[in-house]
Structure 1
């Protein structure tokens, strides 16, 4: 398997020196190989057959709290919105 480390570094906006490319390529191949060997996860996790882990169903809960109740926990509110510190000048 050939992994283009320069392309991955460019996408991730990383600078990798040419003398380190081989090292990163071999490490990336090891990671991909490890992931390919992982078993598929079914509805039941059977790491311990005596105590299987059953995955819960993700169900979205709506209207659990009112907006007013949520805003009570905020340190600062203005015009019904959360006030946060300025991050961009």
Structure 2
């Protein structure tokens, strides 16, 4: 795929970037360079590569999933302007 000057002009307009006419050929060349790089990336075989969450291999800190401060439902709901059946009650906003 190749980007011509008219396509570069349209992309600039859609991005709301003012580009002078004499700068459009350079912009089109830059777009073509980017697309060429993307085509190179598409040629890489990544079938056996696991997705990464970070560029450095590290494990997230883990902790025991346990309730450390709870059993205070009555105290919390005492501050609610409207509580029903053990929950906060809110006015209906969507019909």
Q: TM-score band, normalised by the shorter chain?
A: 0.3 to 0.5
Q: Which has the higher strand share?
A: 1
Greater relative CO (CA pairs within 8 A, separation 6+): 2
TM-score (norm 2): 0.44
Structure label with greater radius of gyration? 2
